[in-house]
Amino acid sequence: MEFISYFYDQSFKIVDEVPAEAEADKVKILGEYLSSYNHADTQEEWFNKIREIATNLGYAQKPKTIKSPDDYRGTIGHVSTVIRLARLRVHVLMYGQYSGLWAKIWSSQN
């Protein structure tokens, strides 16, 4: 059952952590992501924006480009993981495991 636990609200858990390399920048990463996000973007445009965010914050676009750990804060994979985890948590809050809580919050504001 554990290998399919993500199918069921009562057993779903987010077990991934923000990469240590991106922990200090997670707010900046998400802020830049939200300010540049456009739902109409193609997949290529969307990922190019993530590349730009990573580069602007000092992350390598490819792990192979890192010659010395001091050259970059991390890789684009670390930046992408921060975004993926944030999107997953929002999705769970809106539609998944915590949908009852979300409904209470929504109804109390309207």
- The rounded mean pLDDT for the chain is 78
pLDDT at 52: 96
Burial 27-37 (b: 16+ CB within 10 A, else e): eebbebbeeee
pLDDT at 64: 77
Q: Count CB neighbours of 25 within 10 A.
A: 22
Instruction: Provide the pLDDT for residue 4.
Output: 62
What pTM was estimated for this model as a whole? Answer: 0.70
pLDDT confidence bin for 63, thresholds 50/70/90 = confident
